Amino acid sequence: MHRRNFIRQSAAAFALSTIQSTGLGDWGLTPRRRVALIGTGWYGKSDLFRLMQVASVDVVGLCDVDRNQLKEAISRVQERVGSGAIIPGYGDHRKMLAEQQPEIVLIGTPDHWHALQTIDALKAGAHVYVQKPISVDVIEGEAMLAAARKYKRVVQVGTQRRSTPHLIEAKRRFIDSGMLGKVHHAEMFCYYHMRRSGNPPVQAVPDFFDYEMWTGPAPMRPFDGLPHRGWWRAFMEYGNGITGDMCVHMYDTVRWMLGLGWPKRISATGGIYGSHTGKSNIADTQTAIFEHDDLHCVWQHRTWGTASDPEYPWGFKIYGEKGTLCGSTTKYDFIPSGKGEKMHGDVFFEKEKYPEDLTEKDIELNAAPATRLHMLNFLESIDHGGKPVADIEEAHISTAACILANMSMQLGRPLAYDPQQHIVKGDAEATALLQRKYRSPWIHPHPDTV
C-alpha cells in the first residue's frame, strides 16, 4: 500500500470509529452543547473553532479581561454561527459560569489561571477542556485532579499529540507491533529560538485591559505592555518556561507511546546562558532526565545555536533494540537497525473536508486534525463515560514532572516525588516549593479541600 493512502485510511478509520462510538456522525441525534470559552486569545479561539467543526454548539459566553480581544473574538465567532447570534461577553469567568451554566468550558488562558478556572468550572457542573500545562505548581495539579474526580466531570487536556493521526499510526506500526523492540532510552528536545527577551518600558495600563484580573493569583509585575501572544511566557511568574511549554508535549507523547507512569526521579541542569540583557527570567538552556525503570527520558532545549538534527528541531527520538523512532508534530521516521529501509510518515491534513481551515486567521494547520480528534474523544467520554485519552491525571503527571525538573535545576539536586503523600521524598525544602504563594485575595486550591 502506498504511504499516502495508508496514512489517510488509518487516520480516517480512527476518526470514523470515534464518530461511530459517540453517535456524532448525525448531529441531529445529539444534543446541542452549551459551550463557554475563558481566554479568547489565539489558542482559545482555535480550540473553540475545532470543537465547532465536530459538534453542534451553542456558544453561551466568551470571557476575557481584554475588552478589545473579547470584542474581536465575539465578532469572529458570530461569523461562524451567523451574524444574528447573540454571544454574551464577560470580564470575570465566575460571573459567566453562574449566569450561563455551560455544559462544556474551554480554557485558553495563561498557565497561572488554569487551576482556579478549571476548578471553578468543575464546581459549576461543567466538563472542561484546558490547555497544557495544567498548572504552575504541583499542588495545583493535584487539586485539579481531585476536583475532577470529586465532581465526576471529564477533563481533557490539550496534549493533543495523543490524538495526532500520524503519531497514532507510528505508535501502532512500530511500538505496539514490537518492531522497535525493547526501549531503554528516549530523547525529547526543542531548539526553537522562542525565548523573548526584550526590555519594554513600564507604562500605563490601557483602559480596555484589566491587569489586576489578568494577573490574578500570580505575582504582580510592573505593566510593560500587553502580555498576549508570548510575552507572558518569558516569565516564571506565569508559567514554567520552555520546559513547561514544550517539553510537556513531547514527554507526554513518549509516556503515552511507551505506557509510562510517574518518573521515579528527576534531575535537571541549566539556566540563562545565552542572553542576560532582557527582562525574561526563563532558562534559555536546560537538560532534564526523567528516570523510569530501565529507561531514561532526556529533555534538552536551547534557544540559541542550531538544532542537533535540522529535520527535527522540536520532537522526540525513541531508541529501541531494533531501531529508532523519530517523531514531531509534522512527521515521523523509523530507522531500523542494520539493514532495512527508513520508513517515513507525514502529518495528515483535512483540507478538503474542512476548507475553512485554509482561510482561518492564525490557524495551526498541522494541529487542526489532531485537535478535532481530541475534541471527539472528549465528547465521547462525556456521553459514554470513561476517561479521555488526555485525562487530567495523565496531564498532571507530565506537567508535574516538568515543574519538578525546574525545581531540580533551581535546587541543584535530583528529586523524587511521592504522588500519594504529595511530598518530595526526604527533601523538606523541595516539598515547600510544591505549592507557591498566591497573591491576595486569591486562595491556593488543595486536593483535600476542593
Distance (Å, whole) CA 342 – CA 189: 21
The whole-number average pLDDT for the span 195-217 is: 97
Q: How many CB atoms lie within 10 A of CB 264?
A: 12
pLDDT by residue (tens digit) across 57-108?
999 999 999 999 999 999 999 999 886 789 999 999 999 999 999 999 999 9
- CATH class of domain segment(s) 3-161: alpha beta
Residue 22 clears pLDDT 70, i.e. is over it: no
pLDDT digits (tens, 9 = 90+) for 129-186: 999 999 999 999 999 999 999 999 999 999 999 999 999 999 999 999 999 999 999 9
| pLDDT (tens digit per residue) in 359-393 | 999 999 999 999 999 999 999 999 999 999 999 99
Contacts of 146 (CB under 8 A, 6+ apart): 447, 448, 450
pTM, two decimals, is 0.94
The rounded distance, in Å, linking the Cα atoms of 88 and 94 is: 14
CB contact at 8 A, 135 and 401: no
**What is the structure's pLDDT at 83?**
65
Q: CA–CA separation, 305 vs 431, rounded Å?
A: 35
Q: Cell numbers at residue 377, please?
A: 474523544
Residue 152 dihedral angles phi and psi, to the nearest 5°? 55, 50
Buried b (16+ CB within 10 A) or exposed e, 390-399: bbbbbbbbbb
Name the pLDDT band for 223 (thresholds 50, 70, 90): very high
Distance of CA 125 to the CA centre of its chain: 22
Per DSSP, the three-state class of 414 is: coil
Distances (CA, A) of 104 to 19, 36, 59: 19, 6, 10
Where is average pLDDT lowest: 69-83, 145-159, 198-212, 231-245?
69-83
85 CB-side CA count, 13 A: 19
At 23, the pLDDT band (50, 70, 90 cuts) reads very low
Grid coordinates given for 175:
511500538
- With a CB cutoff of 8 Å and minimum separation 6, the contacts of 428 are none
> Beta 127-130 vs 183-190: how paired, if at all?
unpaired
338 has a pLDDT exceeding 60: yes
First to last CA, the chain: 53
Q: What is the mean pLDDT of residues 245-265?
A: 98
Question: What is the reported pLDDT for 19?
Answer: 40
pLDDT at 341: 92
How high is the pLDDT of residue 274?
A: 87
Q: pLDDT at position 322, please?
A: 97
Distances (CA, A) of 88 to 35, 77, 123, 169, 293: 12, 11, 21, 41, 51
Count other Cβ atoms within 10 Å, centred on residue 152.
10
Domain ranges (residues) in the chain = 3-161
Three-state secondary structure call for residue 5: helix
List the beta strands (DSSP E) in 167-225: 183-190
Strands 417-418 and 423-424: antiparallel
Extract the C-alpha cell encoding 272: 540563562
Count other Cβ atoms within 10 Å, centred on residue 19. 17
